[in-house]
Amino acid sequence: MVDADRGSLFLVEGAAAGKKSLVSKFFDVHAGTPLLPCGSTENSSEVQVPWGKGIIGYVAEHGETVNIPDAYQDRRFNDEIDKLTGYKTKSLLCMPIRNSDGEIIGVAQAINKTPGGAPFSDDDEKVMQMYLPFCGIAISNAQLFAASRKEYDRSRALLEVVNDLFEEQTDLEKIVKKIMHRAQTLLKCERCSVLLLEDIESPVVKFTKSFELLSPKCSADTENSFKEGVEKSSSYSDWLINNSIAELVASTGLPVNISDAYQDPRFDAEADQIFGFHIRSVLCVPIWNSSHQIIGVAQVLNRLDGKPFDDADQRLFEAFVIFCGLGINNTIMYDQVKKSWAKQSVALDVLSYHATCSKAEVDKFKAANIPLVSELGIDDIHFDDFSLDVDAMITAALRMFMELGMVQKFKIDYETLCRWLLTVRKNYRMVLYHNWRHAFNVCQLMFAMLTTAGFQEILTEIEILALIVGCLCHDLDHRGTNNAFQAKSGSALAQLYGTSATLEHHHFNHAVMILQSEGHNIFANLSSKDYSDLMQLLKQSILATDLTLYFERRTEFFELVGKGGYDWNVKNHREIFRSMLMTACDLGAVTKPWEISRQAAELVTSEFFEQGDRERSELKLIPSAIFDRNRKDELPRLQLEWIDSICMPLYECLVKLNVKLKPMLDSVAKNRVLSVHFKRTLLQLAQR
């Protein structure tokens, strides 16, 4: 349109005034240039003109048209492009290109008017002035499309990053390598490194692990010299973890973007000489975990196109590193969990060895003659809780299993049963009351109630098995302190199970652990359904010994029995009944003859006093009356309240349900009378 021999197009790059420049891949377009010149490809060289320099820089800075008949006579003209192309510029018409907002986005240049080398005319200027606004629209649209395409590609790349990182969270080295590979792909850089902090809680920045990746797109010379430098130097790993720029980023939490490393005082130029790698630009950002703690830094060096990292690169890298932080943190946590699991596994293995019975003990009871029920007296509701020694209690428990037909019905291996009973005994601690003897006594009373009242005809065999096993296991690993103490002391048990039925959950889980130990599964021959049902019933039975649950459910039980509306075909009615049976057996010492009941009460009281002593010394609390040995004169009154509010209503209701249990209620009533008498005696003694 203007009869120019050649033309050039320069586009503005860089947002800030200090960073703007003019770049062209189309600086020598002529009649013989193909539609897609080699200059448009990514790998071709570019011509870059500083902002305000030369005629092109002047036009871009001032927005003026420049029409020169002889370029070499104008002091603003820079002949470097002529030298580069070998072409002689004479006349020159140069104009700015603006977008719809009036901003200069490029410069168009027409070179050498043809024919004859005359200068460009006023008409040529007018033609250019009319033509270039359309060029501005086209260029702006192309740039918007390219920017949106770039954002789309980057967003897609970030999604791929997320997929990569959360697909592999089991190996730290693998995930960091993926991170570095992705960083190089996203930012098109020569080198990437990740440095992880030794202690994220420490105010002193110290890196403990470093990872480095060189881009395969680096030139062969760069790659070889770098590898040779690393191999020759013994200090490369030390340099990585003592990188001053990385330390600055880790300590401040602020990214560092250096466009010219050698002009920055924070940069260690000596490292370049040692390792044979010339660093031009650096982008370093902190890596955060989900708790907003810095766990390391990620660093990229040298864009492949030779340009510094721009603001868009920094925003992308920071977004990318957010996902990296989550991935690294999850992997570290997974590693910690694995180590914790390994520690737990070892601990359980050790505990299992020390907490299980010996083969000699099993062989002894396996070969022993088991006395009959009548010889042991275990079918008596008024059985003497202190009549059997620890070994005799094992033989009596074996007799109960056999008498109830559970060994035959559920095909329980006899040796396994002996081993299981002995291990259960061994897993009760040597506390004053909640020990193996108490567990056996609760089981004995359950056996006596089942056989005396004929509950065997009402309950299923699975339910009976769950109740007997539940009684034997209901206080496993009891520590001699109650649920309230666990909560007040913030014990590991309270943290593990919460503050509701803390101990009861622990007793059940301990029972499961024993059952799962090798050679202890007495339920091994049950069908899958029976096993599942039994474990559910066992859990209900053990949790039922929490008095809080008893208070929650007893009103419904009392009302059902009082109205005569108990229906054994209703699942909920059966569950409540089993819960009440467990409580009745757990509190069963109060139903025994006075001397037995009093002896048990003394043991309970002593255990309570020990808890009170610990509350006073360890927790700095004043214990409630029942736990306070300094208020032991209040015990008779508390004992009466215990019988009247908790025990008596339960046994009265059970007798309404089955009159054969009346001897239990009679004993409770007698013990109440004797407690009153005992209280009066204590008062008289105190007065004397």
Structure-token match 């033509």, residue found: 131
What pLDDT does residue 41 have? 42
Task: Give the range among 23-37, 387-401, 448-462 with minimum mean pLDDT.
Answer: 23-37
Output the CA–CA distances (angstroms, integers) from residue 452 to 379, 405, 558, 567, 666, in the order listed. Answer: 7, 16, 22, 21, 16
Residue-level pLDDT at 233: 46
* Most confident range, picked from 17-31, 91-105, 225-239: 91-105
Give how far the C-alpha of residue 289 lies from the chain's centroid of Cα atoms, to the nearest Å: 12
The CB density around residue 232, as the number of other CB atoms within 10 Å, is 11
Give yes or no for residue 603 having a pLDDT over 90.
yes
Per DSSP, 307 falls in state P
226: pLDDT strictly greater than 70 = no
How far, in Å, CA of 461 to CA of 463, rounded?
Answer: 5
User: pLDDT value at position 40?
Assistant: 42
What confidence score (pLDDT) does residue 185 get? Answer: 78
Which residue, 687, 367, 256, 189, is CA-closest to 181? 189
pLDDT on residue 579: 97
Query: What pLDDT score was predicted for residue 348?
Result: 63
Work out the pLDDT band at 34, boundaries 50, 70, 90: low
More confident residue, 83 or 668: 668
Q: Per-residue pLDDT for 417 more than 50?
A: yes
Span 513-522, average pLDDT:
92
* Residue 230 pLDDT exceeds 60: no
Calculate mean pLDDT across residues 196-221. 77
Query: For 561-574, what is each residue's pLDDT tens digit?
Result: 999 888 999 999 99
- pLDDT at residue 547 is higher than 90: yes
pLDDT at residue 92 greater than cutoff 50: yes
The whole-model pTM stands at 0.58
Residue-level pLDDT at 342: 66
pLDDT of residue 489: 92
CA–chain centroid gap for 176, Å, is 19
Per residue in 469-506, pLDDT (tens digit) is 999 999 999 999 999 999 999 888 888 887 689 999 99
Select the more confidently predicted residue: 297 or 186. Answer: 297
Please, what's the b/e burial string for 305-315 (b: 16 or more CB within 10 A of its CB; e: otherwise)?
eebbbbeebbe
The average pLDDT across 394-398 equals 98
- State residue 242's pLDDT score: 56
pLDDT at 302 over 60: yes
- pLDDT for the residue numbered 169: 62
Across 168-192, average pLDDT: 78
Please give the pLDDT value at position 659: 96
Rg over alpha carbons for the chain, rounded to the nearest Å, is: 44
- Residue 407 makes CB contacts below 8 A (sequence gap 6+) with 401, 414, 417
DSSP symbols for 312-374: HHHHHHHHHHHHHHHHHHHHHHHHHHHHHHHHHHHHHHHHHHHHSPPHHHHHHHHHSPPPPHH
Q: Is 42 exposed, middle or buried (0-12, 13-18, 19+ CB in 10 A)?
A: exposed
- Residue of 335 and 624 predicted with greater confidence: 624
Catalytic site residues? 434
Mean pLDDT (the chain, rounded)? 85
pLDDT band with cut points at 50, 70 and 90 for residue 38: very low
pLDDT at site 276: 66
Number of helical (H) and strand (E) elements in the chain, helices listed first? 26, 11
- What mean pLDDT do residues 361-381 have? 96
Beta-bridged to residue 12, according to DSSP, are 22
What is the tens place of the pLDDT at every residue in 319-367?
878 877 877 777 777 777 777 766 666 656 656 666 788 999 999 999 9
CA 240 to chain centre: 30
